[in-house]
Amino acid sequence: MNSRTPDKAGVKLGMWLFLYTEIMLFGGLFILYAVYYSKYTGVFIEAGKSLDITIGALNTVILLVSSFTVASAITAVQKKAQRSAITLVGISMVFGVLFLVNKYFEWGHKFEAGIYPGSPDLSDAEAGKSLFFGLYYLITGLHGIHIIIGLILLSISLYFITTKRIHATRFAVLENSGLYWHLVDLIWVFIFPLFYLIL
Amino acid sequence: MTDVQSYLETPSSPNLKGIRAWLLTTDHKRIGILYMISILFWFCIAVTLGLLLRTELMAEGKTLMGSETYNAVFTLHGVIMVFLFIIPGIPAIFGNFLLPIQIGSDDVFFPRLNLLSWYLYIFGGILAVVSLFSGGPPDTGWTFYVPFSIQTESGVTFTVLAAFILGMSSMLTGINFITTIHRLRIKTMGWMQMPLFTWSLYATAWVQLLATPILSITLLLIVAERIFGIGLFDPGRGGDPILYQHLFWMYSHPAVYIMILPAMGVVSEIMPVFSRKAIFGYKAIVSSTLAIAIAGSLVWAHHMFTSGMSDTAVFVFSLLTFVVAIPSAIKVFSWVSTMYKGSILMTPPLFFALCFIYLFSVGGLTGLVLGAAGTNIHVHDTHFVVGHFHFVMFGGAGFAFFAALHFWWPKMFGRMYNFRNAYRAAILITIGFILHYIPMLILGLQGMPRRYYNYLPRFEAGNFFAGIGGFIMVTGIMLMLVNLVQGLRKGAPAVGNPWGGTTLEWSVPSPPPLHNFVDQPSVKSYPYDFTDIIQQQAGSKQV
Amino acid sequence: MESSSHEHIISYAKLFGVLCSLLSFTAITIGVSRMDLGALNIWVAILIAACKASFILLFFMHLHYETRLLKITFVGTIGCLAILIGFVFWDISFR
Amino acid sequence: MNEVINPVHGVDQAFLYILGFSVVLLLGITITMIVFVFTYSRSRNPEPSDIRGNWKLEVLWTVIPSVIALSMFYYGWSSYTGLRNVPAGALEIEVTGQMYSWIFLYPNDKETENELVVPLGKPIKLNITSSDVLHSLFIPAYRIKVDAVPGMKTYAWFLPDKPGLYSMQCAEFCGVGHADMTATLRAVTVSEYEEWLKLEEE
């Protein structure tokens, strides 16, 4: 009773419970989106056109591929292919950084065009437009912060793989970082159509 | 059993000494005690603030403080009471201490996360203090309604962040409890053998888990609005201030159940022990706990009947509110019936529990007035509401907290307290309570709005009596706390099972040893089976 | 509680297959967004996103191989969010 | 005009109905509790009976409160509809809440601050909005309260039936002057009202 064997299923349950809180956190913003979309459908569609579909699609592909590489890294660890696991996690992190770089340029363009939270252009625009961009910045911003946290978690996993603290029978850290990374991807899967594709 | 060292003597990491053995502990019992100290500290502060408010109101016009100070004081009273006392109160202290023992485990599933939760709690408390000195104390009320909370120049940003951090702390505790109950429950204990307190914590944890993030994001929105001025709730740019209220109450109504469900769990433990009889309708209580947790999350908009919300929403949410009333009624009936043909021993915890049932019933029944759409319009945002939710939160959750203190104090510290003083305190608190809050109900019906530092002359008598009641109540609370602390030094040593309880925490020594159990705990097929206890007593009488 | 600690290994091929279907869903959703379906547009977009999300959940996140507890609670969480969003419209649509 | 029903009666009846049931239930619970504590105290009844439940009783006390609760809901709702359905031909007055006073605008563009004068016997509809933060117009005597929301129109109506002065207050916390944001409602006869309306603002 005193010495407990590590309970993987329990750790995983804890991680999933944490993911539920993340889902509800973004859910709060999606509630706002749903309400304002229903109120200002036309304005939202118009404003959505000004977002760059190419960058959005590119970022979607980047995140999907990086999700794939993280999932494969777990398979690699399970198959004791340590070297390929390192490569796969590495690739995922590179993609994660690429995503942020993309986002940086995308935000930069919008800022130059005078569209940023509280900007005079938005304040004078028709009702609803500043809501769209407000939500856009909040959701993608919060999502960006999650990418950064995900990158930190992945780098910890990477370090643990190289120091062999993660191996075929013990990989909870990698698995949970992976879960987090997939969740970030999952949220992007909804952000992409809701902001870039409503035409 | 005699040479077992308690958790008070052996730190959970054997190399730690002195204060570090407490501040760096991962032992759920020590963390429970840490919570107890910090929560009681904030409780005393908030009680003092509350008393200041009522003293100001005892006479018409400005007596103690002006409007600005008054607004800051009632905001702080609310924020501290809600986020630093009632929400963490029972789960963080008694949940932490007892949940693992009640399910036959040696600790919670994530002990270090548990300690982190405590540090977040402390950090949140410090932020709340910081908010006082950054642009002046917050003056929005604990609801932070927009657009006022965005426009005011006081230090709302920090207060909001404090609430955010405290929310995280409570969320992590929730994650910990759910995982613990699922993974560390002793193999022989099925779901229907779980004590009712554990059941209530389980339901609470789910509400904490799913509702708190909504509050987190809402509070972050306020911060974002204050810093960047996005205008999400600004009608000038198409925003909808009422939507903020939806988001806020989506958390804050379920939060009421985060506060009251553990309290109901405590009472469900106390009633059978002192009636020496099985709880009436174990399964009904379990299912009503779950029903309250689920249905209670769907009634948030009954705080918004006058907000300008659609009439359809008023209809739906009013109806759902009455649906939630039913499981609460079932619980009250079950507790009372537990005493039927029991063998009742009057003790301070039972006395508090009985006061709980009475005061909570008043709170619940006045809630019906608020749930009904037509009557709600008149009493909404008046002192009737203030009276009502204090009956539920203080008369309910608060009294259950006191009952839990007296019930588990001997278990936690291995010492008894003075019964006579405990009764005196309990009577003072109850009488003071009734004198304090009944006038508020009446004032509300007469039409005195809440959050008023000054009022029309015709409300003076009621406010005066309420103030007197407040002083009596606070005297009682002080007496109670002093009595408990004195018990630590002067109290007679407590045996392992002083009350004759059947759940697992009573099968271990008082205070419990470091790893909770000396022998493998044996689980009863029915958690409130008193046959052994009755036989033991009969045996001891013959000897 | 029974634990499902039999570690399930998903093959690279399968994961790659999932990635391919995710990418093709992305292509489809972009394609569909160019068509004018009126009010249906948003629902189609959400439906496709939900399909993508379930692929990620079931295979990348291994939910397909997890215990019933995780599956039920996950669906419960999504259901809870859906109810919150839905119930707000008792107000918004009738105001 | 006689067929206009004053919603105050409906609300008061709902109050009586709910509070009445509540008092009965509360007394029942309390008395049972006290009786049990004494009847079954350990000295009188040392041997407890092992009763773990009684499904018939449990069903009974689930069904009966459900019926009571639903009837309370019905009373509450029907009195609410009374407050919401404005009778035809109501006199409309525009109300604006601001920090920290109430502005009333009459059909002939007469404007008053913190004083609302209404003719007796005629339903009054108040169209309410706010120019800054949330406020809430509360007239206890007529059981009405509705938030003043910036960017939105809300409404309430009442039927002044007795001459006199009534108090109006702000019920939604709005800042430093919240408690001082009171106004007076003066119900006067129709002729007095007409006369008052023609007066230039002093």
Q: Where are the beta strands (DSSP E) in chain D?
A: 91-98, 101-105, 111-113, 115-119, 124-130, 135-139, 144-148, 154-158, 164-170, 183-188
Which residues, in sequence order, are CB contacts of B536 under 8 Å at separation 6+? none
The residue with tokens 């419970």 is A17
Helices (H), B131-230: 148-151, 156-183, 196-228
Domain count, chain A: 1
Same-domain check for residues C28 and C56: yes
Same-domain check for residues C52 and C37: yes
Question: Does the beta carbon of C68 lie under 8 angstroms from any beta carbon of chain A?
Answer: no
| Closest CA in chain A for residue B241 | A32
Same-domain check for residues C50 and C24: yes
Question: Which position has the higher pLDDT, D45 or B429?
Answer: B429
Question: Does the beta carbon of C39 lie under 8 angstroms from any beta carbon of chain B?
Answer: no
pLDDT tens for chain B, 543 residues long, are 446 788 888 887 777 888 888 999 889 999 999 999 999 999 999 999 999 999 999 988 888 888 888 999 999 999 999 999 999 999 999 999 999 999 999 899 999 999 999 999 999 999 988 888 887 888 888 889 988 888 888 888 999 999 999 999 999 999 999 999 999 999 999 999 999 999 999 999 999 999 999 999 999 999 998 888 888 898 888 889 999 999 999 999 999 999 999 999 999 999 999 999 999 999 999 999 999 999 988 999 999 999 989 999 999 999 999 999 999 999 999 999 999 999 999 999 999 999 999 999 999 999 999 999 999 999 999 999 999 999 999 999 999 999 999 999 999 999 999 999 999 999 999 999 999 999 999 999 999 999 998 888 889 999 999 999 999 999 999 999 999 999 999 889 998 899 989 999 999 998 999 888 888 888 888 999 998 888 887 777 665
CA distance D10 to D8: 5
Measured between beta carbons, the chain A residues lying within 8 angstroms of C35 are: none
- B5-27 in b/e form (b: 16+ CB < 10 A) is ebbbeebbeeeeeeeebbeebbb
Contact D50 B374 (CB under 8 A): no
Residue A150 lies in a domain: yes
Residue A1 lies in a domain: no
Domain that holds residue A56: 8-196
Q: What is the 3-state secondary structure (H, E, C) of A7-32?
A: CHHHHHHHHHHHHHHHHHHHHHHHHH
**Sheet of D111-113, strands arranged across:** D111-113, D101-105, D91-98, D124-130, D154-158
Contact B297 C80 (CB under 8 A): yes
Q: Using alpha carbons only, how large is chain C's radius of gyration in Å?
A: 17
Paired tokens of D83: 């407050």
Measured between beta carbons, the chain C residues lying within 8 angstroms of B210 are: 77, 80
Question: Does the beta carbon of C95 lie under 8 angstroms from any beta carbon of chain B?
Answer: yes
CA distance D103 to chain B (A): 19
CA distance D195 to chain B (A): 30
Strand partners, D119: D188
Amino acid at B501: G
Question: Does the beta carbon of B244 lie under 8 angstroms from any beta carbon of chain D?
Answer: no
| Closest CA in chain B for residue C69 | B182
CATH number at residue A98: 1.20.120.80
| Closest CA in chain A for residue C30 | A197
Residue C90 lies in a domain: yes
Contact A9 C3 (CB under 8 A): yes
Within the 64-83 window of chain D, which residues sit less than 8 Å (CB to CB) from chain B? 65-66, 69-70, 72-73, 75-80, 82-83
3-state secondary structure at position A56: helix
| Closest CA in chain A for residue C24 | A61
Q: Where are the beta strands (DSSP E) in B57-153?
A: none
Paired tokens of B288: 């009503």
Paired tokens of D120: 């007796």
CA distance D198 to D132: 30
CA distance C47 to D60: 46
All structural domains of chain D: 7-84 (1.10.287.90), 91-198 (2.60.40.420)
Same-domain check for residues C89 and C54: no
Contact B368 D172 (CB under 8 A): no
Q: What angle do CA A134, A138, A143 make, to 5 degrees?
A: 150
Residue C5 lies in a domain: no
Determine how many CB atoms are found less than 10 A away from the CB of residue B410. 24
Q: Where are the beta strands (DSSP E) in B461-504?
A: none
CA distances to A69, A194, B127 from A65, rounded to whole Å, are 6, 21, 41
pLDDT, tens digit, for every residue of A127-186? 888 899 999 999 999 999 999 999 999 999 999 999 988 888 888 899 999 999 999 999
Same-domain check for residues C24 and C56: yes
Superfamily, domain B20-536? Cytochrome c oxidase-like, subunit I domain (1.20.210.10)
Paired tokens of A86: 């390192």
Domain count, chain C: 2
CA distance D32 to B497: 29
Which residue in A18, A27, A131 is closest to B238 by CB distance? A131
Which of C20, C60, C81 is the best mutation test for A, with the most CBs of A within 10 A? C60
Residue A3 lies in a domain: no
The residue with tokens 């619970």 is D29
Amino acid at B496: G
Residue C53 lies in a domain: yes
Closest CA to B139 of B83, B85, B76: B76
Domain that holds residue C38: 11-61
Strand partners, D139: D144
Structure ipTM: 0.92
Same-domain check for residues C47 and C70: no
Question: Does the beta carbon of C69 lie under 8 angstroms from any beta carbon of chain B?
Answer: yes
CA distance B100 to A144: 38
pLDDT, tens digit, for every residue of D3-22? 778 899 999 999 999 999 99
Question: Does the beta carbon of D63 lie under 8 angstroms from any beta carbon of chain B?
Answer: no
In the DSSP assignment, the letter for residue C8 is P
